[in-house]
Structure 1
Amino acid sequence: MKIALASAGAFALSATAALATVERSSQSVGILFEEGRYLEFGLTHVNPSVSGSVAGGLLESGDMTRSYTSLSFAFKTPLTPDLDLAVIVDEPIGADVRYPTGTGYPIAGSNAEVNSIGVTGILRYRINPNMSVYGGLRAVRTNGEVELFLPGPAQYTMSVDDDVAFGWLIGAAYEIPQYAARVALTYNSRIKHEFNATETFVGLAQLETTFETVIPESVNLEFQTGIAPDTLLMGGVRWVKWTDFDITPPFYESQTGGTLVEYNTEAVTYSIGLGRRFNENWSGAIMASYTTDGFSPTSNLGPTDGQSSIGLAVTYTQDNFKIISGLRYIDLGDATTVNLGGDFSGNHAVAAGVRVGYSF
């Protein structure tokens, strides 16, 4: 049941990652600590609402984000009494931007989409009942496209072919099983994509170009401990080096002197929460998180700066099955966009999801 409490807490946080960036996965390694063989499927639906204005509020952007649904899969199995294998399939990064047409906003009609799928394999070795180390490899396939109506007027489009790139992770954990206590520290390497792109400035030229984009390195510290019978305290700290991330297609840069997306600061997310068992079948968790700001002025394709959230999750356990349902409200930080000076404030997102796990 302590594992069920921790799973509920993690799900209350992972309904969506930091919407101030393109990140959609928190890269948790919690599945490594499930008992025995374990299989899990997850579905998350996120409904953001992000709008802003220019010219002192005279021109409104309308809601420039779209809701999205993410699927995930995870499997863990012992290989020997001291060695475990886990496989995680998720969506590391993503974006879906759609500025409504007919609003008079300077870039009305602009849109952008980023899609990815990641597969991570991890081996965990138990040194003794308290200490373990783990490491693995990650493969990420990513593609994307953008259509940007620039003030002028000028229309720019760009699409990239699928690219598969690789990274790695390494970590260590310390546990005190009788107190359900655990601290896990994980380093995730950066992943460098090399994209082949088709760029077009309508009425000017179309070029086949190449450029690099880095999914940045990160460090996760996850912890939990029992503080009373059937009660678990849990949380974590996550650092991501977003200053390494930018999307700068060469034809776009040559004509505008700028980048499509870049971040001018690193990000740290702090989380804390409580899990509680109600009876043999039901448990729940509440989690709060805060992601630092400092991204503003932001790209027009991602006009938020930091966030805070509150999440709730309920777990139903019966025999070898557990079903976790979660709901999360995210308050998105205010931001000003580059070039246009768009004022984006008072925005939010709501996320809901379900995970089904089976131990065997």
Structure 2
Amino acid sequence: MNQKLWPAVAGSALCLAGMAQAGGIERTTQSSSILFAQGNRIELSYAHVSPSVTGTAVTPIGNVAKDYGLPGFAIKIDATEKLSFALIYDTPFGADVLYDPLNPVLGGTLAQAETQALTALARYKLTDRVSVFGGIRQQRAEGEITLNGAAYGALTGYNVQLDSDWATGYVLGAAYEIPDIALRIALTYNSAITHNFSTTENIAPGVTSSTEVKTPQSVNLDFQTGIAPDTLLMASVRWAEHSAFQIQPATFGALTGGGLVSLDDTTTYTLGVARRFTPAFAASISFGYEKEGDPLVSPLAPSTGRKSISVGASYKFNERVELSAGVSKVWLGDAQPATAGTARGSFDNNSVTAFGMKIAYTF
């Protein structure tokens, strides 16, 4: 089996199907897989994610999570036989939560956050089997949070706006490959990125402060190998330090001694198989698992743990143009939104459906 057969299935269809739901506040896995594509390559992708997150807090709570899109772009260029470069655009983190204003406990509670990242990478082949890679990630982020309802007591109606901020992080990685059997093991480290947001809180009118927020550092371990003619086994483990993601504006922190969000670290496991049925058509299926954490969660992220199934397919129109698509179903773990360490409601039997497409051009 030659590794040249597999850039679409391993790097596109399967990743597309699962890209929409990582753990915590993540929306992508910050993949560097395009570095391993054969030849010069451009990729355009888009995923649409539809969460269904409902529960009860005295009265039923309708869906608190809005649909969102995940645009993506990547280009990879071989400078020499040993050195290649890539530029990747994605939206790695985000939140879009709003509780029905009519709910007496949490009604009107809101969290909106948006990030955009541009990552410049380089890969150098030390030998035919060993390579190292790394680069710089430039990230833009902004957000807004409102706390509302009886669950927040005297803080009901609190609002904070975090103005847009740019900050820089980095990526480091190494890979080992045996091309003849399509084997690759890649380890990637994505650094935390520290933002300093210009901050406006409505309980301190006219006062602007600065709030330091770190988006999580993470480690990806990706593995693939041929197990039969035209059949590929794939697995990955991703750890992300969500516990380091803290939002503590100055006035809110002075009043409460704490922050607005509390998340657990996550470790997400994925196992999949890809099969090439014809020279042009291939398909894949994968399963994902993330262990449930403390059932008492922030109302701004009302789930813990997840299980998923993803299917993907790719079709090569010719030697240059290739289309991939994937769909994921994610079952979210049950959780209890809590304030001051006390459960205020219950969220269970929730899920997410995601669909993505990618078109690639090799030149």
TM-score by length of 2: 0.93
Q: Which residue number corresponds to residue 15 of structure 1?
A: 20
Secondary structure of 2:324's partner?
A: strand
**What is the Cα deviation at residue 64 of structure 1?**
0.6
Q: Which residue number corresponds to residue 262 of structure 2?
A: 262
Q: Which residue number corresponds to residue 173 of structure 2?
A: 171
Secondary structure of 1:225's partner?
A: strand
**Which of 352, 355, 363 is equivalent to 1:349?**
352
CA contact (8 A) 1:12 1:286 kept: no
Q: Which residue number corresponds to residue 242 of structure 2?
A: 242
- Separation in 2, partners of 1:66, 1:206: 31
- Separation in 2, partners of 1:128, 1:3: 20
- Separation in 1, partners of 2:294, 2:241: 12
Secondary structure of 1:32's partner?
A: helix
1:76-225 matches, within 5 Å, as 76-102=76-102, 104-151=103-150, 152=153, 154-201=156-203, 205-225=205-225
Q: Deviations over 1:1-53 (max 9, x none)?
A: 222221222222213322xx211110111100111110001101000011121
**What is the Cα deviation at residue 205 of structure 1?**
4.2
CA contact (8 A) 1:275 1:286 kept: yes
**What is the Cα deviation at residue 226 of structure 1?**
0.5
CA contact (8 A) 2:286 2:309 kept: yes
1:193-342 matches, within 5 Å, as 193-201=195-203, 205-263=205-263, 265-319=264-318, 320-339=320-339, 340-342=343-345
Secondary structure of 1:196's partner?
A: strand
**What is the Cα deviation at residue 206 of structure 1?**
5.0
Unpaired segments ≥5 residues, structure 2? none
Is 2:38 the partner of 1:35? yes
- Separation in 2, partners of 1:34, 1:135: 16
Unpaired segments ≥5 residues, structure 1? none
**What is the Cα deviation at residue 266 of structure 1?**
1.8
**What is the Cα deviation at residue 292 of structure 1?**
2.2
Q: Which residue number corresponds to residue 65 of structure 1?
A: 65
Q: Deviations over 1:165-216 (max 9, x none)?
A: 1111111100000001100011111111111110013xx7453121111112
2:22 corresponds to which letter in structure 1?
Answer: A
Q: Deviations over 1:215-251 (max 9, x none)?
A: 1211110010010111000011011111211111122
CA contact (8 A) 1:15 1:327 kept: no
Q: Deviations over 1:312-359 (max 9, x none)?
A: 011111111111111000000111122253211111000001011110
CA contact (8 A) 2:297 2:336 kept: yes
- Separation in 1, partners of 2:46, 2:16: 11
2:67 corresponds to which letter in structure 1?
Answer: S
- Separation in 1, partners of 2:77, 2:31: 17
CA contact (8 A) 1:12 1:285 kept: no
- Separation in 2, partners of 1:210, 1:128: 47
- Separation in 2, partners of 1:258, 1:155: 17
**What is the Cα deviation at residue 295 of structure 1?**
4.2
CA contact (8 A) 2:20 2:70 kept: no
**What is the Cα deviation at residue 162 of structure 1?**
0.9
Q: Deviations over 1:47-102 (max 9, x none)?
A: 00111213xxx422221110001100000001112100011100011110111222
Change (3 A) 1:317 1:15: farther
CA contact (8 A) 1:44 1:351 kept: yes
CA contact (8 A) 1:15 1:326 kept: no
- Separation in 1, partners of 2:159, 2:206: 9
- Separation in 1, partners of 2:355, 2:326: 6
Is 2:49 the partner of 1:46? yes
Q: Which residue number corresponds to residue 3 of structure 1?
A: 7
CA RMSD of aligned residues (A): 1.5
1:5 corresponds to which letter in structure 2?
Answer: V
**What is the Cα deviation at residue 281 of structure 1?**
1.6
**What is the Cα deviation at residue 257 of structure 1?**
4.1
**What is the Cα deviation at residue 274 of structure 1?**
0.3
Secondary structure of 2:297's partner?
A: coil
CA contact (8 A) 1:150 1:156 kept: no
Secondary structure of 1:10's partner?
A: helix
CA contact (8 A) 2:273 2:285 kept: yes
Secondary structure of 2:296's partner?
A: coil
Secondary structure of 1:246's partner?
A: coil
CA contact (8 A) 2:105 2:344 kept: no
Secondary structure of 1:262's partner?
A: coil
